[in-house]
Structures are given as structure tokens and as C-alpha cells.
Amino acid sequence: MIRWLVASCALVAAVLVVPVHAKELTGDWMATVSEKRPDKLQLSLKYRHSENSSSRFSKTEFVGLTEAQIVSTTRVPVEFVIKREAGTISFEGTFRAGHGAGEFKFVADPAYAGKLRSIGMDHAPKPDDDEMFALAIFDVSTEFIRSMQKAGYDVPLDMYMQFRIFDVNPDYVRAMSEVGFTKLRAEKLVETRIHGATPDYIREMRAAGNDLTLDEYIQSRIFQVTPEFAAEMERAGYANLDHDQLVQFRIHGVTPEFVQQLRQLGYTKVPADQLVAMRIHGVTPEFIRRVEAAGYRKVPIDKLVQMRIFDIDPEMVRALDDGKHVD
């Protein structure tokens, strides 16, 4: 299964001449104009038994497809191509009002595998390998591979593919170095891109006083531990929380609203770790109200947590207490 997570690539201006003995791969395509980026198309490709998944391409990558065809109010036939060093993808079908569909054909360039081996990729795919299709879609060119090798990344071919998918390039490597993270493992570079722990984000966090490790910046992005969230918790009475505490708050849903609800029920200045324990075990404001309705007010938090851990129903406790007075 191949997932099309490719980012925007450069303009392609010519059609590849394909050897007659190259193997063809065929499938179906659908495309629609991106709502957020009208200069791009969301392209979905499906072939054989692969999962149908989509990715966003710049319109300029489709040689032979015009804007007039894409936005035509009547259905029009189209033929266009995407040319890559690994081969050519040819499309046929129709477009109307920003939506298109049809069939595609991919023909690999057998010379590409030899070019890969010439730059040290000893395990390059055979010309008729399906991997060639992925290399074409993700535009893993020998020029790109050489640029990453020069940047210090002599890695397997599938890692270069991940670099292209997640837009890791020499400029990004330099930018990470400029914020103090040099000689990162290839996997870590990709991880920062996946979660958005980019140089710009790191600078933003540092400007807010958060000088963290790279893994902590990644955690912050995953769990949305933003300077704004820290400021909200400070206004709620929880200043100077460390990174791990803020992450725990985010993971378990400790919010300023939760703190305010507890205060309205008489629970003030609850320690941070107890707030987390309450959320983990389901000691919600609703549960506390049930306990109060059963006649038990200001029950200590540790007792409330125990009630939830042992699934003690407050109404049942009240009934048992009432029973003690029955003659």
C-alpha cells in the first residue's frame, strides 16, 4: 500500500520518451481543486488493490492541463502528464467545475535505476518494480538524493522518499542547525516535519520562554502545549508549570474551565497532580454533584478518586447508610 503524502514539486515542462519495452502500470484517478489552496489539485490515485488515498499537487505539475479545462462549466475531455526522472504518468479523462476523473498509465524509465546505482544506491529498484511508481509520484530525483547526501544524509532509498513526502531538504537541515539541532538522525528530521516542530515553531516557543529539548518541542506540538495554553493555566492559578505537567494537563484534559468548575464546587487550589488524577479516573464535576446529592459534601479528593477506582456508587452508599438506622 502506497500513501500519497507528497508536497508541492517544481514545474515540469516536457514529456518523457519511454522505451517500448518498459512495463506499464494502470489505474484510476480523481482530482478536485483544493479548497484551501486553489492553485493546487487534490489528486487521488488507485491501482490494483491499493488503498485510494490523495495528495495535493501544484496545477503547474500537470503538463497539458489548462485552467480553462479545470473550471469548465461543461464536461470536457482532458489528456495531461506528470513527468519525473523515474518515469511518466499519463492521464486521460474529463473535467467539469473543478472536478476530474479518469484513468492513468505509468511507464517507468529503465535508465533511472542505473542512475540511482551510479550515485551509490546499490539496492535500486528494477525498472518494472512498483516502487518506481512511488519514486515518480514523490519525485525522488537523483539531483535531490545528491543534495541530501551532500547535506550528510547517505540513507536508504525509502528514507529519501520520506524526505520528499514530508518536505525535508537541505534548506530544512540548515534551518534546524540554525536553531541548535545539528546532525539529526534522518528519522528525527522526518518526525519534526510530521508534527510541525519546525525551526519557526522552535523560535516561537523560545521567545515565550520555553527552551526545551527537541523531543519536548515535538511533544508540545503533538499535544498542543502552546504558550497560550500555559498563559491560560497561569491565569487559572497554575503558574510556573513545567513542560511535563503541561503535557499531562493536555493529555488528560485539565483545562481552565475544569479548574473553574471545581472552584464553584468548593475545591480550590487543587494540586496539579491531583487535577490529573481526577481527570484520569473520571472525578468530574457531575460526579461530585452526585456525591453531594447523596448527602456527602466536600469529600476529600483522594476519597473521590478511590470511589471512582473501585466503582463506588454514591447513591448506593447513601442507601446503605440509611439502612443502618432501620430498626
pLDDT tier at 250 (50, 70, 90 boundaries)?
A: very high
Is residue 16 assigned to a domain?
Answer: no
Of 29-33, 131-135, 242-246, 250-254, which range is least confident?
131-135
Where residue 323 falls among pLDDT bands split at 50, 70, 90? low
* Residue 184 scores a pLDDT above 80: yes
Number of domains in the chain: 3
Confidence of residue 124 (pLDDT cuts 50, 70, 90): confident
pTM attached to this predicted model: 0.82
Domain boundary among 165, 180, 209: 165
Q: What is the pLDDT of residue 53?
A: 66
Q: What's the burial of 192, exposed, middle or buried (CB within 10 Å: 0-12/13-18/19+)?
A: buried
Question: Is the model's pLDDT at 16 over the cut of 60?
Answer: no
Instruction: In whole angstroms, give the CA distance from residue 78 to residue 101.
Output: 10
Q: What is the mean pLDDT of residues 270-298?
A: 96
Let me know if residue 244 belongs to a domain.
no
Same domain assignment for residues 138 and 213: no
Find the mean pLDDT for residues 42-48.
90
In this structure, what are the phi and psi dihedrals at residue 272, rounded to the nearest 5 degrees? -60, -40
Average pLDDT estimate for 50-77: 91
Residue 15 banded pLDDT, cuts 50, 70, 90? very low
Handedness of CA 208, 203, 199, 180 (dihedral sign): negative
For residue 102, what pLDDT is reported? 98
The answer to whether 43 and 69 are in contact (CB under 8 A) is no
Containing domain of residue 290, as a range? Answer: 251-323
CA distances from 320 to 290, 297, 301, 310 (A): 16, 17, 22, 16
The answer to whether the beta carbons of residues 291 and 313 sit under 8 Å apart is no
Q: Does any domain span residue 155?
A: yes
